[in-house]
Amino acid sequence: MRLFDLKGKVAVVTGGSKGIGRAICLAMAEHGASVVVSSRKLEPCEGVVREIEAKGGKAKAIACNIGYREQVEALVEGSRAAFGKIDIMVCNAAINPHAGPMSEVTDSLFDKVMGSNVRSNLWLANLTVPEMAERKDGVVIIISSIAGLRGAGSIGLYGVSKAADFQLARQLATEWGPSNVRVNSIAPGLVRTDFARYLWENPELYEKAIAGYPLRRIGEPDDIAGIAVMLASPAGNFITGQVIVADGGATITSWR
């Protein structure tokens, strides 16, 4: 277990009340980390905290809308007040308010998506990485998407923001690597979350979707959580600036 030991570490997870974020919170706690569970609404976060505490772990719920800098700052300050430091910053929260072609994207919509999906991750990194650098140890994980790797029919703006997150991770990794701070992104494919509920609850749509996946299934939240634990733990000590794709093989096939 040494390679995946997070005892003594403090992890902050945005979008942590459900789906991939919740799975990451639970997995980090199971491997010994104290976890700050954050999302826009406090009550669902408190539910995850109770799950962690029921298993003997330590956790704190803090509400935060990542679109507002003052709330992001309060999240970081509250996390330090609760646990004294931040070792692992998981930037998972994101929005996707637009389904349609790029020609329909307004300036305000563009700013909203890029602000929540990219700028907030820069805020979180800039607020947490300096203390990691002082200790010569720290991890930032940005949850992106395979939408940032290829064109998409209706979520193009979302894909643009996720592609930007790849480069943000690379740039931060370059700047902070000499201080032993590692920054990586994870690009999930379709995962069994509320975001894709319409697909996996419809057997016909589900079968059509997985026909192009070599593993013949969509992902589960724990499939992504395991990668996050690896990146945050000693097992990931020599990985930085990378995009780790977890998509059941969807992007390696030519199927459309």
> How far, in Å, CA of 97 to CA of 95, rounded?
6
Token reading at 40? 């826009």
Token reading at 79? 């996390």
Strand 243-246 with 181-188, pairing: parallel
Sign of CA dihedral 165, 169, 172, 175: negative
Run of H or E residues at 89:
strand 88-91
Bridge partners, residue 142, by sequence: 91, 185
Taking a C-beta distance cutoff of 8 angstroms, is the pair 98, 157 a contact? Answer: yes
Token reading at 77? 């300050």
Instruction: Please spell the DSSP secondary structure of 219-241, one letter per residue.
Output: B-HHHHHHHHHHHHSGGGTT--S
Residues contacting residue 235 through CB under 8 Å, at least 6 positions apart: 3, 4
> How far, in Å, CA of 93 to CA of 111, rounded?
16
Question: How many CA atoms within 13 Å lie on the side-chain side of 68?
Answer: 9
Residues catalogued as catalytic:
158
